[in-house]
Structure 1
Amino acid sequence: MKPRTTERRLFDYAWLFKRTILIGLVCLVIAVALELTGPFIAKRLIDQHIVGIENQWYQVEREDDYTVQYGDALYKRADRISETDETEDMATILQVKRTYYFVPEDVPTTGSRSVNGNTLTIEGQENTYNVEAQSLSLQQLYRFFQPEIPSIYWLLSIYVGLLMVASIFQFAHTFILQKTSNRIIEKMRNDLFAHIQRLPIQYFVNQPAGKIVARVTNDTEAIKELYVKVLATFVTSIIYMFGIFIALFLLDAKLALICTIVIPIIYVWMRMYKSLGGRYNTVVRSTVSDMNGNINEAIQGMSIIQAFRQEKQTSDHFEELNERHFTYQRKLVRLSALTSWNLVNVMRNIAFVALIWYFGSSSIGPESIVTVGVLYAFVDYLNRLFQPVTDLVNQLPQLEEARVAAGRVFHLLDEDGEVIENRSINRYSGHIAFRDVSFAYEEKDYVLKDISFEVKPGQTAAFVGHTGSGKSSIMNLLFRFYDPQKGEVTIDGYSTKDWSRQQVRSHMGIVLQDPFIFSGTILSNVTMNDDRISREMAIKSLKAVGADRFIEKLPNGYDDELKEKGDSLSMGERQLISFARALAFDPAILILDEATANIDTETEQWIQQALEVLKKGRTTLVIAHRLSTIQTADQIFVLNHGTMEEQGTHQELIDLRGQYYDMYQMQQGSVKKSVV
């Protein structure tokens, strides 16, 4: 199956809201149609009611709204004569330069004109006419215009009314499309964040957090501009241009056909801009991600940076990224500056040259091949035509930025995620078995080799060994953060692969060496905003592990707000909250990943008491460096470079005088020296 393009996938997201988008587009079409009536109304107003007095006039007997008193007679324009009118002599009104003349006979209204005294000469292609003419004073001329004034007011009122209605539809179209655009981005961000939570742990190991954050925030914000601004501008401009071309073809098909040359020019330019702009934007978006990752890392490690006086090196690295970002942004700006405004100006000037060439100099003379109204309407539509062209060209930078950003977002969405299966399973008893398990993070580089052991329900098992021995990898397999390449991990006789990852973890709890505290209250850190954990259950858990000793001293007690990562609490206090969190969820299997490694001796007594409460009635797996904390464990497994070296109780391993014995003696010696 052919993979979908970025443009197609962006369209698919928009198609989810097709109904509201269609309503918005209908409003847009109506608004454009109403707005484009302006030049047609102006054409009629000029040709029929302003320039139209230059016409033949009949002398009539009966007075009505269209008759004009001149001398002792009533005159009515030829195109206003009805079947009931009784006509007599015919006269003609002609304009020569800025003066209008009354000719008391029927003469042509075309041809070059000149006046000598009271004689008006009309030179046509075949005949020349010399006729007596009377110049009209301003007051007399106004009389001939007076019958047209009501129609002029009526046409202007219609145009204003149409513009007001068009503004209502324009508002509706803008509101609907922008609201829908925000809904599209909301949907995309939700999909992206949900997909991130389905990604395997290995993905986060290989990707800096800042880069992932940039995809969810910066890149989706760029796509938002596509839907909110770029797409709306493109749709509006295309519909507007389509309406203008229809109007141009109605006025003059040949000249309208000449104007269509702007369409292939725009298309070719968009293809060229997509090639160059896309290349530059790819570097810009990638650099923004790198900058986010760099900033995130610098903030997280600021204490280390300052302690080791690495401010200059850190700044140099950031400046290198910032310089790259500036360089390619400058290329984008140069690309846009060289073309956007200049390109439209060139096309506009070419169009007006074509207009002059087509109509010729005679277009503004008495023998014009078109009326003044048509000429005005054509010029008006040409001016209007290049406004959407300008809008289209000016949106190309945002279009390419959004397209590149969308490619990055969809690349993340295309990462293989895990199937989410939250269907509940019965609480297992916690009988754990590893059978001939071998596991490698990288291909064939095994960190666990033929590991086999068994932990019965309710037992406490400890895993010890030097750094890199494979202790944490065993926990990763048990939690199904990864699956082994060889062997099998079972819980209560069921392979963990028979359940979804969520089902495996549904009855497990974990306490880490460095407990993670979320922004929020102490209670929300225990309940994790899970409806199944009530306030009473959370407080009971906190009291059970002894956390009430310090919580009740806080200003707001259990509702005290915690800062990011719980920096307002000591390490021991954070650890107690993480114990309460594990206890509140009542797991069948509890994993303690060096939970007491960073705790001082005094606080460790609290922690040990909390651990005893926590371990009751559940299978507990402990990763420990301090061997003194695991002496009461039912089983102790000693790992060395991914292999199981020894296993047994504390006393059995001491009697064995193997690796565990050496480690114990070493730690005991360190303790004695520290005491001395």
Structure 2
Amino acid sequence: MTQSTGKRLLQYALTAKKTFIAALLLLSIGVAAELAGPFIAKSMIDNHMLAIEKPYFQTVDSSKEAAEYNDTYYKRGDRFEPGEAKGQEIRLLQEGRSFYFINEAVAQPEGQRTYRDGVLYIQRGDNELSYPAVKLSATELFSFYKPELPGIYELVGLYALFLVISIFAEFGKTYWLQSSANQVIRKLRTDVYAHIQRLPVYFFDNLPAGKVVSRVTNDTEAIKDLFIAVLSNFSTGIINIIGVYVAMFLLDVRLGLLSLFLIPILVLWIILYRKIATKYNTIIRSRLSEINAIINESIQGMSIIRIFRRQKQRREEFEGLNDDYLKYQNKMLNLNAFTSHNLVNSLRSLSFVLVLWYFGFGSLNGTTFVSLGVLYAFVDVLGRMFQPITGMVNQLANLDSSMVSAGRVFTLMDEPGELVTDGSMPRYKGKVVFKDVSFAYKKDFVLRDISFEARPGETVALVGHTGSGKSSIINLLFRFYDPQRGSITIDGQEVTDMPKQWLRSHMGIVLQDPYLFTGTIASNVSLGDNRISRERVERALREVGADKLLSHLPQGFDEPVVEKGSTLSAGQRQLISFARALSFDPAILILDEATSNIDTETESVIQDALEVLKKGRTTFIIAHRLSTIRSADQILVLHRGEIVERGSHEELMAIGGRYFNMYQLQVGAGAAGGAGISAVPITPAIAASSPL
């Protein structure tokens, strides 16, 4: 059973778990350092700024912890050492913007305060107390605050230290998160590309190349956003929210419980958002894939589009896809604009209203158990929670897009691929036997009861009209497909019993339209195989006569080759393809009318090399010009998937059947490629022109 997308992404994330853990550890340290700020502020307010209202006692201690007023020293009660003598208790209480000195103990300092005619009145419910009080000047008030300054300076220094820790933790978190994300995406792309190379050939017959490219590039890039932006914001957000709630419960349990209403709202909103966004993102990723496909197809066929003047039609088709893509992108923008900022702002406002309504007013006048320092710290902590919430909400679009893209990538990776078998097999002799082989790409059989034998070193030519089954025989020989009935053996061994990589390692092909890769002429001959030395490459090029046609190039065999070898002539490309096959020394060689696109002069150059190339190899020729296969040991004439004639050129001419008529038609028409027969292109997977 296929695993969920989330679990598979987690498995990939675990490949870089060390850096992820390091990043999350630094993230936790950074969050703790940031959340230390409100606690420091709380301590500064409650233990220093507002602590001036705590009880003071007369003392003979004239140290920095004591305040001097009217030639008498006073010290806060909580700063006396055990056993230290305490004198008369006094209080400093605030009313409005002023502080008042009360030279006695105050029974209930909490309540509504008013000052009239030298008396401070404190009313709490129906009970009102009065105390004689003296208003303090700014200088007198500062003398009581002066002992608090060392503690305040210490807290400011501690805040700066936590700030520095937070900065370094943020840097480390960002670096390690992005580093680990890049590692994960590198592995994912490598795995996707490796899996594409294991997919059977028929998979690519039904899926445009542009869509495959989109899976490897665009979709994996979207997954990269998941690991970098989404994971960073969500992990930061979750750890921040956990830290914030821990801080809120440490400050006050009731305030923490009151704020829990945010969690179910966020979870519910994320579920509803993804339900809508997934539908839009699925269409968006699909349209982007189709856009890539049509661009790729248009570039590949640009000459045909211009020759037949189809620019307008192709542009309209592209604009249709592009407009549809824009429509759903706008729907996503509307969804994000309508929900993200509105939700966060609404939640923030609602949270502050509830906190201030329930606790705020009572804290300001001292009628509740929550101090002003606790309230300030709580509001500060609560405000800090909405920054990560905003980051998480803003990344929901990327989260959903990344999950849709990951689903598309994993769907591709779930396609059954061919097994890769390590090792190799000895070079076989090349005796090929088809026995009662029948094959269908879909429902209708394109080959029916095909039987023939090709002995080692023998040349077998396949001729017939378009669709007669010539290329299908080659596809079966390469095991791009397997027949529904019958058997194919090489040297007496069933090809289905051989690993495909081993089987193809001793096969080579030269196509009518050879495929060249970006690189150099030499690299297109060796295909980067370490077993093929530079000397072997140059020898193969000389043996096929390539040195004569390529000698004028500025860099010789190191001349750069662009995509498909478009800067080289058809003859030059064909010679390179010939040298490629020769350098790999295959036991079985397939020639897809290798000389049909070459001028007469170039053809004469490689005719001798062809004879050398075919020696000791079983050679299959898909014939276009029948004059080129007169020397074939065996000619198979196919018609509608059946072998209707077989024999040498002389034998078939003597019969006077279908082959005779085709040959006479070509000779009589004086054309190299007669109307009655055409070359059938082998399936695109063979177009690599390599021994695979």
TM range (shorter): over 0.9
The answer to whether the Cα contact below 8 Å between 1:178 and 1:228 also exists between their aligned partners in 2 is yes
Cα distance between partner residues in 2 of 1:624 and 1:607: 17
Q: Give CA-to-partner distance per residue, 1:534-564, whole Å, 9 cap, x none.
A: 1111011001101011322111111111111
Q: Which moved more, 1:226-235 or 1:80-89?
A: 80-89
Q: Give CA-to-partner distance per residue, 1:354-373, whole Å, 9 cap, x none.
A: 10232152221143432111
- Counterpart of 1:60, as a letter, is T
- Which residue of 2 is the match for residue 135 of structure 1? 135
- Which residue of 1 is the match for residue 369 of structure 2? 369
- Which residue of 1 is the match for residue 402 of structure 2? 402
- Which residue of 2 is the match for residue 493 of structure 1? 492
- Counterpart of 1:328, as a letter, is Y
- Counterpart of 1:511, as a letter, is V
Cα distance between partner residues in 2 of 1:367 and 1:7: 51
- Which residue of 2 is the match for residue 144 of structure 1? 144
Q: Give CA-to-partner distance per residue, 1:494-542, whole Å, 9 cap, x none.
A: 1101101111101000111110010001111011011000111101100
* 584 and 326 in structure 1: CA distance in 2 versus 1, 3 angstrom threshold: same
- Counterpart of 1:157, as a letter, is G
- Which residue of 2 is the match for residue 70 of structure 1? 69
- Counterpart of 2:664, as a letter, is Q
Cα distance between partner residues in 1 of 2:237 and 2:121: 50
- Which residue of 2 is the match for residue 631 of structure 1? 630
* Structure 2 residue matching 1:568: 3-state secondary structure: coil
Q: Which moved more, 1:483-492 or 1:383-392?
A: 383-392
Cα distance between partner residues in 1 of 2:315 and 2:357: 62
* Structure 2 residue matching 1:577: 3-state secondary structure: helix
Please report how far the alpha carbon of residue 124 of structure 1 lies from its aligned counterpart in structure 2 after TM superposition.
3.3
* 270 and 49 in structure 1: CA distance in 2 versus 1, 3 angstrom threshold: same
Mapping of 1:138-287 within 5 angstroms?
138-287=138-287
- Which residue of 2 is the match for residue 592 of structure 1? 591
Q: Which moved more, 1:532-541 or 1:382-391?
A: 382-391
Q: Which moved more, 1:100-109 or 1:462-471?
A: 100-109
Q: Give CA-to-partner distance per residue, 1:54-78, whole Å, 9 cap, x none.
A: 2221111121221111111111112
Cα distance between partner residues in 1 of 2:130 and 2:644: 126
- Which residue of 2 is the match for residue 616 of structure 1? 615
- Which residue of 1 is the match for residue 644 of structure 2? 645
What are structure 2's unaligned runs of at least 5 residues? Answer: 674-692
- Which residue of 2 is the match for residue 28 of structure 1? 27
The answer to whether the Cα contact below 8 Å between 1:92 and 1:104 also exists between their aligned partners in 2 is yes
* Structure 1 residue matching 2:441: 3-state secondary structure: strand
Q: Give CA-to-partner distance per residue, 1:123-160, whole Å, 9 cap, x none.
A: 23464333332222212211111111111111111111
What are structure 1's unaligned runs of at least 5 residues? Answer: none
Cα distance between partner residues in 2 of 1:543 and 1:362: 97
* Structure 2 residue matching 1:260: 3-state secondary structure: helix
- Which residue of 2 is the match for residue 320 of structure 1? 320
Mapping of 1:330-479 within 5 angstroms?
330-359=330-359, 361-443=361-443, 445-479=444-478
Q: Which moved more, 1:166-175 or 1:260-269?
A: 166-175
Cα distance between partner residues in 2 of 1:90 and 1:450: 115
- Counterpart of 1:85, as a letter, is E
Cα distance between partner residues in 1 of 2:413 and 2:315: 33
The answer to whether the Cα contact below 8 Å between 1:579 and 1:610 also exists between their aligned partners in 2 is no
The answer to whether the Cα contact below 8 Å between 2:360 and 2:375 also exists between their aligned partners in 1 is no
Cα distance between partner residues in 2 of 1:552 and 1:117: 114
- Which residue of 2 is the match for residue 303 of structure 1? 303
Q: Which moved more, 1:120-129 or 1:262-271?
A: 120-129
- Counterpart of 1:627, as a letter, is L
Mapping of 1:34-113 within 5 angstroms?
34-107=33-106, 108-113=108-113
- Counterpart of 2:378, as a letter, is F
The answer to whether the Cα contact below 8 Å between 1:576 and 1:610 also exists between their aligned partners in 2 is no
Cα distance between partner residues in 1 of 2:598 and 2:69: 112
* 490 and 79 in structure 1: CA distance in 2 versus 1, 3 angstrom threshold: same
- Counterpart of 1:534, as a letter, is S
Give the superposed CA RMSD: 1.5
Cα distance between partner residues in 2 of 1:223 and 1:501: 33
- Which residue of 1 is the match for residue 15 of structure 2? 16
Please report how far the alpha carbon of residue 380 of structure 1 lies from its aligned counterpart in structure 2 after TM superposition.
0.4
Cα distance between partner residues in 1 of 2:637 and 2:381: 85
Q: Give CA-to-partner distance per residue, 1:194-220, whole Å, 9 cap, x none.
A: 110111110000000000000000000
Please report how far the alpha carbon of residue 109 of structure 1 lies from its aligned counterpart in structure 2 after TM superposition.
2.3
Give yes or no for the alignment of 1:514 onto 2:509: no
The answer to whether the Cα contact below 8 Å between 2:666 and 2:672 also exists between their aligned partners in 1 is no
Please report how far the alpha carbon of residue 86 of structure 1 lies from its aligned counterpart in structure 2 after TM superposition.
2.2
The answer to whether the Cα contact below 8 Å between 1:115 and 1:121 also exists between their aligned partners in 2 is yes
Please report how far the alpha carbon of residue 673 of structure 1 lies from its aligned counterpart in structure 2 after TM superposition.
11
- Counterpart of 1:47, as a letter, is D
- Which residue of 2 is the match for residue 555 of structure 1? 554
The answer to whether the Cα contact below 8 Å between 1:199 and 1:418 also exists between their aligned partners in 2 is yes
* Structure 1 residue matching 2:620: 3-state secondary structure: strand
- Which residue of 1 is the match for residue 545 of structure 2? 546
Give yes or no for the alignment of 1:483 onto 2:499: no
The share of aligned pairs that are identical, in percent, is: 51
TM-score (structure 2 length as normaliser): 0.95
- Counterpart of 2:173, as a letter, is H
Q: Which moved more, 1:383-392 or 1:470-479?
A: 383-392
Q: Give CA-to-partner distance per residue, 1:93-113, whole Å, 9 cap, x none.
A: 111111111122222422221
Cα distance between partner residues in 2 of 1:3 and 1:672: 57
Cα distance between partner residues in 1 of 2:161 and 2:549: 72
Cα distance between partner residues in 2 of 1:673 and 1:289: 42
Cα distance between partner residues in 2 of 1:124 and 1:404: 62
- Counterpart of 2:73, as a letter, is L
Please report how far the alpha carbon of residue 84 of structure 1 lies from its aligned counterpart in structure 2 after TM superposition.
4.2
Alignment length (residue pairs): 672
- Counterpart of 2:483, as a letter, is P
Cα distance between partner residues in 1 of 2:638 and 2:263: 72
Cα distance between partner residues in 1 of 2:662 and 2:223: 57
The answer to whether the Cα contact below 8 Å between 1:255 and 1:358 also exists between their aligned partners in 2 is no
Q: Give CA-to-partner distance per residue, 1:332-383, whole Å, 9 cap, x none.
A: 1111111100011111111112102321522211434321110100100110
The answer to whether the Cα contact below 8 Å between 1:512 and 1:595 also exists between their aligned partners in 2 is yes
Cα distance between partner residues in 2 of 1:672 and 1:435: 35
Please report how far the alpha carbon of residue 601 of structure 1 lies from its aligned counterpart in structure 2 after TM superposition.
2.3
- Counterpart of 2:58, as a letter, is Q
Please report how far the alpha carbon of residue 418 of structure 1 lies from its aligned counterpart in structure 2 after TM superposition.
0.6
* Structure 2 residue matching 1:36: 3-state secondary structure: helix
The answer to whether the Cα contact below 8 Å between 2:625 and 2:672 also exists between their aligned partners in 1 is no
Cα distance between partner residues in 2 of 1:203 and 1:384: 52
- Which residue of 1 is the match for residue 664 of structure 2? 665
* Structure 2 residue matching 1:533: 3-state secondary structure: coil
- Counterpart of 2:325, as a letter, is H
Please report how far the alpha carbon of residue 613 of structure 1 lies from its aligned counterpart in structure 2 after TM superposition.
2.6
- Counterpart of 2:528, as a letter, is N
Cα distance between partner residues in 2 of 1:270 and 1:62: 62
Give yes or no for the alignment of 1:576 onto 2:571: no
The answer to whether the Cα contact below 8 Å between 1:20 and 1:180 also exists between their aligned partners in 2 is yes
Cα distance between partner residues in 2 of 1:610 and 1:305: 38
* Structure 2 residue matching 1:420: 3-state secondary structure: coil
The answer to whether the Cα contact below 8 Å between 2:545 and 2:605 also exists between their aligned partners in 1 is yes
Cα distance between partner residues in 1 of 2:434 and 2:576: 31
- Counterpart of 1:247, as a letter, is A
Cα distance between partner residues in 1 of 2:550 and 2:259: 77
* Structure 2 residue matching 1:293: 3-state secondary structure: helix
Q: Which moved more, 1:12-21 or 1:453-462?
A: 12-21
- Which residue of 1 is the match for residue 689 of structure 2? none
